[in-house]
């Protein structure tokens, strides 16, 4: 695999997003445009110039944290270091920009994402209860 992390390719990130099986209804371009501002970081992982993973975040809370909003890796490229490479670049960028932590939100049903975040040093900070326990949202944070 010839992995390269590129910045600023929203079209590539959205292309990957639409192919992530866990995303029942991926966000449309207008949702990205309404959330993202000059604080945004859009990362795409490419293999031979084809997008295979992405990570998008921005300064949502204005509290010194960077919000890692959306991300995913195509199933054929999981367990090959793509998510870690994206997270490494995001964390280094956030540190350089003066952010003191990274926050993310996932759902209880995404066990692999929870395990990945815990392995990278994230702590569970707050659950958002839901009638369906599998749909419960879980907030996590990593100090930088």
- Measured CA to CA, the distance from residue 28 to residue 24 in angstroms comes to 12
What's the maximum distance between 2 C-alpha atoms anywhere in the chain? Answer: 43
Summarised one tens digit per residue, pLDDT across range 81-97 is: 999 999 999 999 999 99
Q: Map out the domains of the chain as residue ranges.
A: 3-143
- Measured CA to CA, the distance from residue 62 to residue 86 in angstroms comes to 23
CATH number of this structure's domain 3-143, picked from the four choices 3.40.630.30, 3.30.70.100, 3.60.15.10, 3.40.50.261: 3.40.630.30
- Measured CA to CA, the distance from residue 139 to residue 111 in angstroms comes to 13
* pTM of the predicted protein model: 0.96
Q: Is the pLDDT of residue 24 over 90?
A: no
Summarised one tens digit per residue, pLDDT across range 51-84 is: 999 999 999 999 999 999 999 999 999 999 999 9
């Amino acid at each position: 695999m010839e992995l390269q992390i590129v910045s600023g390719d929203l079209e590539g990130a959205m292309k990957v997003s639409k192919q992530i099986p866990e995303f029942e209804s991926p966000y449309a371009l207008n949702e990205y445009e309404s959330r993202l501002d000059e604080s945004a970081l859009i990362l795409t992982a490419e293999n031979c110039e084809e997008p295979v993973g992405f990570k998008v975040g921005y300064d949502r809370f204005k509290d010194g944290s960077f919000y890692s909003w959306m991300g995913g890796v195509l199933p054929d490229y999981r367990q090959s270091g793509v998510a870690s490479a994206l997270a490494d670049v995001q964390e280094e960028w956030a540190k350089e920009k003066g952010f003191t932590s990274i926050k993310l939100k996932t759902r209880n049903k995404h066990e692999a994402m929870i395990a990945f975040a815990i392995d990278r040093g994230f702590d569970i900070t707050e659950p958002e209860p839901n009638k369906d326990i599998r749909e419960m949202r879980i907030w996590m944070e990593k100090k930088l």
